[in-house]
Structures are given as structure tokens and as C-alpha cells.
Structure 1
Amino acid sequence: MTSGSDNNGNSNGGSKKRPLVAILSGAGISTDSGIPDYRGPNGVWRRDPEAEKLVTYAYYMSDPEIRRRSWLMRRDGPALRARPNAAHEAVVRLERAGVPVRVITQNVDGLHQLAGMPERKVLELHGTARAVQCTRCKERSSMEAALERVAAGDPDPACESCGGILKSATVMFGEGLDPAVLGEAVAVTKACDVFIAVGTSLQVHPAASLAGLAADHGARLVIVNAEPTPYDDRADELVREPIGTALPALLERIAAG
């Protein structure tokens, strides 16, 4: 890939292009923001296997009690109150330094965008918890408005347009990823020069397979994660230090060239 412009489309006078950096982020990047991970040693699914039913499409659609519990989980959970941490902010600094950056995230918390990453540079593989979607007519609305209805006494709010079942605009277990978003993520992965997998167990597919795809296409693969992953043997660099300090240091090195 060659380019005569920088990350913002400005002419760079023919200088050497900066590497395209793809960052695959998982739950571990948001734990410093108070959002627990799911598959780590103290992850949500390990502590409460029943909680997985609350985000499983078949259970959600067939059981009103599961839906009521799901709405309470959304209301009481930390995701909507969380703020970006040092790792999210480091990604934004890299992008603002003129390095071409694309974030591919498994997270639904929206913290990359809250930190300042442009929406168009963040691919949310698993959707967003900040919106709700009707399972029948597909209309979207804000999570905030839906939770206001829950607070007003509606434990399982229905779509106001068609009466269909509402769910968070996330990809639940049993649902497929948006093919357009996944396709763009694959294209970015194949084109990047550096692929950083941070805070992800690399066990959930198809997102996990992006790490191997990047290596197959010649990218430098860096894995930043406290626990071993299935792709460690493919990595050019493994980082086990805490993400809040390790990722900023890594991205500063990349920004410095």
C-alpha cells in the first residue's frame, strides 16, 4: 500500500507512509473502567454461568422473565456509567499523532468513541449496548429512553412502533455478526501492517481468527493480554503487563516510528 496523504487526507509531500495499525480490543481493555470481563479468572461467566442466559437470543426471545432480568442487568450494570481509561485514551493519541488506526472491538461499551476515536474508525463487531433494537421491525432507539420506561414501571418494554420485542443493539449468543461490519474488519486486517490484540482471550470466533489472518497477510502481530491465548505462537510480541500501562507504552513506540 502506498499513499500520498496522511491519516486525515492531507498531503505528506511523498514522505514514507506510516503503518496502518489495527487494534482488536476485548473486554480486558475496559476492566480499568470498572467493566468486568467475561472469560478471565474472575469473569462474569465463570462466577455466574446463569448470567449467560440473559444474553442468549433463544432464551431472551422465549422467556419474559429472562427479558425482565436482562433489563435490570442493563439498568444496574456498569457499562453505561463507565468512562474511558488510559488504554482507550492511548489509542486516541496514536490516531491524533497521524498514524492510520482502525479499532475492531469485541466490546459493546462505546468507550473507544467516548475517548475520542472517530465513529468511522471503530468497528463494533458485537454491536452497542448504548442503543436498543426491535427484533421485529429493526427500528433503533436509545438505551437511555428504554431504561426510562423500565424505571417508570414497564419491566419488559416493547417497541413503540410495532409492539415487537426490544433488545439491546448487541449481538447475543445465537445471533450472527453483521456481515458488513465483519467484512470491513476482515479488509482492515488483511491490509494492516501492525495488528494488536489487546485484552481479548482470542477464543470467540470469528473475531479471534482475525489475529491469525493478520499474521497470514504479513502483519506484525502483538498480543497484549494477561492470560495465554490460542494465537500466542503466531505472535511477534507478547505483552503480559497490565493493559493500562503496557498499551500506552506500546503505542508510544509505534507513534515514534
Structure 2
Amino acid sequence: MATTEDLTTLWDRCERVVVLSGAGMSTDSGIPDFRGPNGLWTKQPDAAAMFDIQTYVEDEEVRKRAWVGRRTHPAWSAEPNAGHRALTTLQQAGRLGPILTQNIDGLHQKAGSVEVLELHGTIWETECLTCHDRVPTQQTLARAEADPRCLRCGGILKTATISFGQRLDPDVLDAAIDAARHADLLVAIGTTLAVMPAAGLADMAKHLAIVNAAPTQYDAQADVVLHEPIGEVLPEVARALG
């Protein structure tokens, strides 16, 4: 069984390290994941409809439910946890390159990390699905409308996040692929590595390490696998290398 020391040793001998973070990265900040025992889709299977772009566009009631959820989303008050802060320490020490994240909460940036590529977009902006005008989400929420429309063209509004059926931003995806292909080590943290194309990044680096509560389909090919708390593993690595 691998240990945090094994991860630290592998990290230390790799010059170019990138991180791929998923929902498990933010659970210690009070933001639930999707597929875990306490995940959003585990507890509310019908909530998945709000994350399908075709359903969202066609069903006004789904959009209204989505906006109710956005008003109370824990991201608005969440603070970076020990794992986020540890990655910032490693970046500042020159021991970590870009952070490729599937998360939409902005907590990596709030912790002070730079070079954060948001593969699945951000909850902090709202985008019109017709004219693609963007405004801060808090500005949209302040209108207190059940199904707000674009003030520029009247189109349907959605947070600037990627739903099922939507393409990832090609510039962001290309940058993430480039970072992964040139990495000596990709550390997948808090992700089940089940959602493509983000999961495919795990195939691209020379070495792969995984820190996740549950097993993933990539465990067998990883150099190091830790099913330990992220908030304990990453600070220990940062203390050793930061």
C-alpha cells in the first residue's frame, strides 16, 4: 500500500508536475461532490436533469430549479481548505505547474493559486446561450427572477459552466492537454476520473499519481494511489517540498 512518503518521493524526482482536481478537492470546504456517498446525484438522482443542456433549454421548470440551487450554492461562502492551500504553497515554491480543475467553485484561485485551467467553467459568471454575453452571477441573482433572461437579447441564461451535451472551451482544453503531455507527473486529486475528456488527461503524463477517497478506473496504471484524506496528504507533501 502506497504512503504519502511515496507520493512525495515521486513528486520530488519529477521536474514538471501538474494537478487534475475534481469535486473531492472541495468537499472539505463544504461543497458536496456528485458521486460520493453524500454526493448531490447520490442523494438526489433527479438533480442530474439540471446538468443536461438539452433538458435545461427545453424545460422552464428545470431552469427554475437550477436557479433556486444557484442562489443557495455553498460556493458563495466557501473558503479554501488545507488541500487548496497546500497546492498554492507548492506552486509558489516552484514545485507545481498548472492546476487543471473540473471544479467550478473558484477555490483554487481564492487560495492564491495561479495557472488554473477551469475545464468545466465557472459558477461565478452567467452566460447567455444565444449571444454569449457574460455578467457576474451575483448580478444575475440580484434580479431575483425565477428564470432570468439575457438583458441584451432575451436569451436563456446559465452559469458559465459546462453541462452534459456542451463542448468544453477548446482553448482551455488545448492548454490542459498541452500541460498534461509535457508533464513528468500528473497528480489526480479528488476525481473519480470517470468524465471525459478530462479523465483522458490521466493517460498523457509520464507518471500518474491518484489521491481520491474511492478507487478509480485508473488505479491499476498509476505509480502511486492513495485513498487517504486530501486535507492530510497534500499539506504533508507541501511541508516536505514547499
Residue 221 of structure 2: aligned partner: 234
- 1:82 corresponds to which of 56, 78, 81: 78
**Displacement after TM superposition at 1:42 (Å):** 2.1
Which amino acid in 2 is paired with 1:49? P
TM-score between both structures, scaled by the size of structure 2: 0.92
**Displacement after TM superposition at 1:20 (Å):** 1.7
**Displacement after TM superposition at 1:19 (Å):** 1.4
CA distance in 2, matches of 1:84, 1:53: 29
- 2:192 corresponds to which of 189, 193, 201: 201
Q: For the Cα contact (< 8 Å) 1:24–1:197, is it kept in 2?
A: yes
* Structure with larger RCO (C-alpha < 8 A, sep 6+): 2
Residue 3 of structure 2: aligned partner: none
**Displacement after TM superposition at 1:197 (Å):** 0.2
Instruction: Choose 96-105 or 234-243, whichever is displaced more.
Output: 96-105
State which structure, 1 or 2, has the greater radius of gyration over its C-alpha atoms.
1
Residue 174 of structure 2: aligned partner: 183
Which amino acid in 1 is paired with 2:219? D
For residues 36-79 of structure 1, give each alpha carbon's deviation from its aligned partner in whole angstroms, at most 9, with x where no partner exists. 00011221111111111112111110111111111000001212
For residues 160-205 of structure 1, give each alpha carbon's deviation from its aligned partner in whole angstroms, at most 9, with x where no partner exists. 1111111000001111111111111010001112210000001011
CA distance in 2, matches of 1:167, 1:185: 24
Residue 155 of structure 1: aligned partner: 146
Q: For the Cα contact (< 8 Å) 1:196–1:224, is it kept in 2?
A: yes
Residue 54 of structure 2: aligned partner: 58
- 2:28 corresponds to which of 26, 32, 35: 32
Residue 204 of structure 2: aligned partner: 213
For residues 203-224 of structure 1, give each alpha carbon's deviation from its aligned partner in whole angstroms, at most 9, with x where no partner exists. 011111111222xxx2x21100
Matched residue pairs, number?
Answer: 230
- 2:127 corresponds to which of 128, 133, 136: 133
**Displacement after TM superposition at 1:18 (Å):** 7.4
CA distance in 1, matches of 2:192, 2:14: 28
For residues 197-254 of structure 1, give each alpha carbon's deviation from its aligned partner in whole angstroms, at most 9, with x where no partner exists. 000001011111111222xxx2x21100011000001111111111101122134444
Q: For the Cα contact (< 8 Å) 1:212–1:234, is it kept in 2?
A: no
CA distance in 2, matches of 1:51, 1:27: 16
SS at structure 2 position matched to 1:141: strand
Q: 1:107 to 1:93 in 2, by over 3 A?
A: same
- 2:159 corresponds to which of 160, 165, 168: 168
Q: For the Cα contact (< 8 Å) 1:224–1:247, is it kept in 2?
A: no
TM-score between both structures, scaled by the size of structure 1: 0.86
Residue 66 of structure 2: aligned partner: 70
Which amino acid in 2 is paired with 1:116? G
Question: Can you give the 5+ residue segments of structure 1 that lack an aligned partner in the other structure?
Answer: 1-16
User: Aligned-pair RMSD on alpha carbons?
Assistant: 1.4
Following TM superposition, the consecutive aligned residue runs of length 4 or more in structure 1 with deviations greater than 6 angstroms are none
Which amino acid in 1 is paired with 2:119? L
SS at structure 2 position matched to 1:208: helix
SS at structure 2 position matched to 1:197: strand
CA distance in 2, matches of 1:58, 1:172: 9
